Amino acid sequence: MAQVNPTVGDLEGNCGIVVEHARRAAEAGAHLVVFPEMMVTGYPVEDLALRRTFVDASIEAVHALAGRLSSEGLGELPVAVGYLSRRRGAATTALGQPVGAPQNAVALLHRGRAVFTSAKHHLPNYGVFDEFRHFVPGDVLPVVRLHGIDTAFVVCEDLWQDGGPVAAVRESGATLLVVLNGSPYERDKGDARLELCARRAREADVALAYVNMVGGQDELVFDGDSLVVDAAGDLVARAPRFEEALLVADLELPGAEGPGMWGAAAEADGITIERHLISDSPLPPYRPLPNPVAPRPDDLGEVYAALVLATRDYVRKNRFPSVILGLSGGIDSALTATIAADALGPERVHGVLMPSRYSSDHSVSDAEELVRRQGINGRTVAVGPMIEAFEKAVEIDGLAAENLQARVRGQLLMTLSNQEGHLVLTTGNKSELASGYSTLYGDSAGGFAPIKDVWKTLVWELARWRNAEAERLGRTPPIPEESITKPPSAELRPGQLDTDSLPDYQILDALLDDYVGTDLGRAELVAAGHHPELVDRVIRMVDRAEYKRRQYPPGPKISKRNFGRDRRLPITNRSTV
């Protein structure tokens, strides 16, 4: 099971990953190697699926990959890959179907050809998924006899939904079910994958191998966590999370009963079972290797790993040489800088201190201390003269004067980005984004927002976790303690604190999570124990800030409902319920 990190659109590079890991699998003695969902194209491809030339290129790449595997001496090893295909014979597109009838498909490559191609049946259309828009469903369960073992193949959502191909597995007589996945990470999911795999294995009376991709793709981050369970649902092997791995597992499986009906098709609950033969003879006995079971990180450790991986891949896959961010001495910029340094190395992180007349001495010293502790590149640019130039040209006061400072800082970072080629990291958290507590074209300016989906209370938890992890390893904590313990402030006016404009973050985040995370209405929020006046105030803040969120940079999704693909509300909106 090749838990790898493809890049959307990089067909040549992704096929190279397949060849490399197929060779490693062959050297390890594997008899079958499986790659994730949409491996050849990367996932999700979104509207690239509607581009006929891209679908054609994906299909051609799979045929070329089959030939390349054979020519490089790997043709005897069956290789299952996900790719973008189209429904057979789809000359035209029916009304209401995506253009070109594209399909989220799997092919099994062997001896220079595809033994079968099959398409995902259940198309998810919730949360971050929009597959009704991009694909048409398949209706086939492929079953391949390999070394006398009947093995069935399905794709991701087919495992999660009742019915469909998985429901036909038991009737097919297969004793191994292989599932190709592009399943993104989200916090508080528990061990839902293992529980699901165990349940499906028991239902179908099969061993089940679940391979998942790893890596960041825009808002999404895939955590790997590939696993194998036996027919009783017991865990056999498991890959690590948030890193690439080749999981090699030895399984003892019952052989197929009776002669196969090769090429014949049988119907089961609307699914066609197609049978294919690679080899009927069982393997000679051999000594199995111990099956690895990787430990799982704790809750905060997995969240932090997700943010680091997402940031690294966004920078790497979009070919930015380095990142730049503003350092205020506060907790948000400190955590963002730490994530960036862990993702890219401190030498590729540039922090800019931009003190103004309202910046406290400890804010400057805390930012300087963070630069010293982490070894990132630091510089100081005083923004006071730039602000004064604006104030001489235009008479402003109040909120406009406060926002001017943030916009001057944002403009400075974007200018340095243009001049030096850095990607600007935005340092705002989810609580600020929800409540509109940010300045458009100021502190919201940038190209990627690592903590966009992190509530303020979680920001503090992650900072403490990261420091504790450094101490556990005998290293200097990367974040100054003062940045964690001092009251948060935008420092845009004398003595300003976040609590001047916002409730205490413990109270605010709980209310925001109920309103944003689960879509509770006003009456439901009050019934859940939130104060009615605060509910009205927070609803107004969240709804009025929708236009700001539409202009915010992307950031990694870690929650069940992020601002972005998960939550799509109208900007013009007078709803009060």
User: Active-site residues: which are they?
Assistant: 37, 120, 156
Residue type present at position 219: E
CB 133 within 8 A of CB 123: no
CB 451 within 8 A of CB 430: yes
For residue 452, the SS3 value is coil
Q: Is the dihedral of CA 126, 128, 133, 134 positive or negative?
A: negative
CB 135 within 8 A of CB 161: no
Q: Tell me the two tokens of residue 225.
A: 């966590």
Question: What does 286-297 look like in DSSP terms, one character per residue?
Answer: -PPPPPPBPPPP
How many Å apart are CA 547 and CA 566, to the nearest integer?
A: 16
How many Å apart are CA 467 and CA 46, to the nearest integer?
A: 38
Name 7's Cβ contacts closer than 8 Å, sequence gap at least 6.
13, 14, 42, 317
| Cα dist from 534 to 130, 436, 489, 500, whole Å | 35, 15, 21, 14
How many Å apart are CA 256 and CA 151, to the nearest integer?
A: 10
381, with CB counted inside 10 A (0-12, 13-18, 19+), is middle
How many Å apart are CA 198 and CA 485, to the nearest integer?
A: 44
Helices 11-27, 52-71: inter-axial angle, 10-degree rounding: 30
Dihedral, CA of residue 236, residue 240, residue 243 and residue 246, to nearest 10: -30
CB 182 within 8 A of CB 43: yes
Residue 289 — left, alpha, or beta (φ > 0 → left; ψ -120 to 50 → alpha)?
A: beta
How many Å apart are CA 342 and CA 308, to the nearest integer?
A: 7
For residue 109, the SS3 value is strand
Name 397's Cβ contacts closer than 8 Å, sequence gap at least 6.
none
